[in-house]
Amino acid sequence: MEEYTEKGSVKIDVQVKNNKMEIKIADTGIGMSQEEQKHLFEKFYRVKNDKTKKIIGTGLGLWITKQIIELMKGKMELESMKDVGTRITVTLNLA
Residue 75 lies in a domain: yes
CA distances from 92 to 24, 42, 49, 62, 67 (A): 12, 21, 33, 16, 13
Q: What CATH number is associated with residue 58?
A: 3.30.565.10
Q: How many domains does the chain have?
A: 1
Q: Is the pTM of this model over 0.85?
A: no
Residue 1 lies in a domain: no
The pLDDT tens digits for 2-59 are 466 667 889 999 999 999 999 999 999 888 888 888 888 888 877 776 766 777 777 7
Beta bridge partners of 15: 22
At 83, the pLDDT band (50, 70, 90 cuts) reads confident
Query: Which pLDDT does position 73 carry in this prediction?
Result: 96
The pLDDT tens digits for 30-46 are 888 888 888 888 888 77
14-33 b/e (C-beta count within 10 Å ≥ 16 → b): eeeeeeeeebbebbbbbbbe
The domain containing residue 78 runs over which residues?
A: 10-93
Query: Which pLDDT does position 1 carry in this prediction?
Result: 34
Residue 68 lies in a domain: yes
Residue 60 lies in a domain: yes
